[in-house]
Amino acid sequence: MIDIKFTYRISFLLIFLLSNTITFSQNKKQQELEERRQELRHEIQQINDLLFKNKSKAKSQTSLIEDLSYKVSVRRNLIKVTNQQANLLTREINANQNKITELRDELRLLKENYASMIVTSYKSKSEQSRVMFLLSSSNFKQAYKRIQYINQYADYQKEQGESIKAKSLELQETNTILLKQKDNKKTLIDENRVAQKKLEVELNQHETLMSSIKNNLNRYTAQIKDKQRESDKIDRAIEKIIRDAIASSNKKAGKTNTSSSVYAMTPEDKALANSFIASKGKLPWPVEKGVVKLRYGNQPHPIVKSVTIKSNGVRIATEKNAKVRSVFNGEVMAIQVSKRGNPSVLIRHGNYISVYKNLSKIYVKKGDKVTTKQNIGEVFTNPSTNETILSFIVFKDAKTQNPAHWIYKM
């Protein structure tokens, strides 16, 4: 025969565990959304400080549109994440309101049962009644069982009192959580309302700027393509330096296939590469303050959608005179200088290479050993556009990697 009490306890335990799992999952999701929201808010602050602070200074229309497009995309993400948070809070509020209703019903029943017990206990509270209850037993076994019953009844009364106390406390805590959730939801809604208004202003500015360049779109397209060709030329020169270094490493190692695209590494190189790999996703930014204006990979231009931008790394907008930092321990393998572009520094970390393009000053030379966060130069500021942009690339052997996978929260 199935023990009903045992089955009830198992069912209650399963429901309790499921409820706790759902609550934990919701709390974790809410925490993740809050972290993402704070990151986006910080990013917008960085955009305002680095890209829009000095409005009086000269800036090309294309740069303004690119910056505004970037800001609009981040603002939209912020609104989206905030909406997700508010919707999740709505679900949690509804769940807690239902929980409060259930707790109140349970508390009412507990109090009613407890009151009934108190009345019964009062009627038979005298010592004489208890003694008579025991003396009226037909044998010793029955008397013993009646003593147990009296003790169990007293324990049950105490348990019921503790249950009422615990349930009252749970109800109070749930009410407190509910009030806090409602306040948080109101804050999110108010913030989103402000963000929506700012987005509308930015979209209007973007539309006005786009209208102003429509007549000169062909000229802007030609400029964009010319900048891409120049960037590709510098990237090819950097790739050649890396291929030559790989060939040299293979030659030193006595390998016949010097055209291999993989480094022949010494034990020290391997140890350094392993340390670099272990720091994946935790490497510091190459500048102290910055926002990523252009991501890794092929992507349409924010103004001329028909033009595809090929990006071997990321372009980071930073402040004027910003110091460039090595993202990891390594050795300066080359200083690359082009006729039309600004110099670049290549630092080798085993079979990984970090590249820092568009510098105005260089503090290191080929063969120097550098450490994590050591200043290696300064970022160039374009006098005609007033932009300070660092291009940053990561290679594994001769193949580019997505820097966002390596740099902390990029």
Cα–Cα distance measured from residue 61 to residue 299, given in angstroms and rounded to the nearest whole number:
20
Burial of 279 (0-12, 13-18, 19+ CB in 10 A): middle
CATH topology classification for 221-405: Glucose Permease (Domain IIA) (2.70.70)
Q: Where in the chain is the domain with CATH 2.70.70.10?
A: 221-405
- Amino acid present at 120: T
Residues of the chain with pLDDT under 70: 1-25, 54-59, 110, 114-115, 117-137, 140, 142-144, 146-161, 257-259
E strand or H helix at 65: helix 61-123
359 strand-pairing partners:
379
Residues 318/50, Cβ–Cβ less than 8 Å: yes
Helices (H), 214-337: 217-252, 267-278
Residues 365/332, Cβ–Cβ less than 8 Å: yes
Please tell me the predicted confidence (pLDDT) of residue 5.
47
- Amino acid present at 26: Q
Residue-wise pLDDT tens digits, 201-244: 999 998 888 887 877 788 888 888 888 899 999 999 999 999 99
Please tell me the predicted confidence (pLDDT) of residue 14.
59
Cα–Cα distance measured from residue 34 to residue 28, given in angstroms and rounded to the nearest whole number:
10
Cβ-Cβ contacts under 8 Å for 366 (sequence gap 6 or more): 332, 333, 334, 335
DSSP per residue over 345-373, as a string?
A: EEEEETTEEEEEESEEEE---TT-EE-TT
pTM listed for this prediction: 0.72
* DSSP at 327: S
Helices (H), 253-289: 267-278
Is beta strand 344-349 parallel, antiparallel or unpaired with respect to 352-357? antiparallel
